[in-house]
Structure 1
């Protein structure tokens, strides 16, 4: 007589687990809360019908999705997974706004200092004495040679 343990679904429903149980691959005995949450929201009969209608290779992903949605609904009965979706959309909007702001700052810097040139594009070689002259057209000279980038030109009061 083989010893066959019940899956979490059959144990929760207090019934004998057949060898071809539709729940056993997706609701193992070591994770009973997984079935409890899904059962609480959808019911065992509805879960069984959904599993049977889905192709075998997609069932695990479908059960994972049902579990996630049921878990969110148990944790937050009013909003459920919609709360998480709203939070992610807000984060996406914030990131897009930061991208637009950064692109505007880059455009401003390029308008002030011009596009960055190749480092040796203005290299002039004098063949007679092997000397080189590199032009720095994007920088304004000061007492110390070249003027470094000044962040105060962006208008944020940085010094």
Structure 2
């Protein structure tokens, strides 16, 4: 095996982890859950193909995206990330509505205060 422990992928798949292992840089042995999740949703072969098609500088971001999507798919098998995004968009819409109501209430209070203040001031004639 060598000095380095096998990556999470090779450990889970019971393979020998060589220097050229496509998974080793992105799925360290101390975080096996990450690969297990991605493997469960996408399969090791598909993930390997995806990573090999990408330039090396984009692979870490791709792995992060795959881990996120796999987690979302486990939580919501039908919609995955789209379900989470839709839920967040609905929350944003609701919060915008609440903000608009609060701003309208502030405007009404300010107008009432100005009216009350104006009624207290003596009228001056020119």
User: TM-score by structure 1 length?
Assistant: 0.65
Counterpart for residue 36 of structure 2 = 36
The 5 A counterparts of 1:81-120 are 81-114=81-114
Counterpart for residue 117 of structure 2 = 138
Deviation at 1:140, TM superposition (A): 4.3
- Work out which structure has the larger RCO, using CA pairs closer than 8 Å and 6 or more positions apart in sequence: 2
How well do the aligned residues superpose, as a CA RMSD in angstroms?
2.4
Counterpart for residue 68 of structure 2 = 68
Paired residues, number: 120
Deviations 1:43-88 (A, max 9, x none): 1121112112223222212111101111121233233233322221
C-alpha distance in structure 2 between counterparts of 1:56 and 1:2, whole Å? 24
More helix by share: 2
Q: Is the counterpart of residue 15 in structure 1 residue 26 in structure 2?
A: no
Counterpart for residue 4 of structure 1 = 4
C-alpha distance in structure 2 between counterparts of 1:111 and 1:139, whole Å? 10
User: TM-score by structure 2 length?
Assistant: 0.80
Which structure 1 segments of 5+ residues have no match? 115-136, 142-159
Higher Cα radius of gyration? 1
More strand by share: 1
Counterpart for residue 124 of structure 2 = none
C-alpha distance in structure 2 between counterparts of 1:6 and 1:75, whole Å? 29
The change in CA–CA distance for 1:32 and 1:2 in structure 2 (over 3 A counts) is closer
Which structure 2 segments of 5+ residues have no match? 121-126
The change in CA–CA distance for 1:6 and 1:68 in structure 2 (over 3 A counts) is same
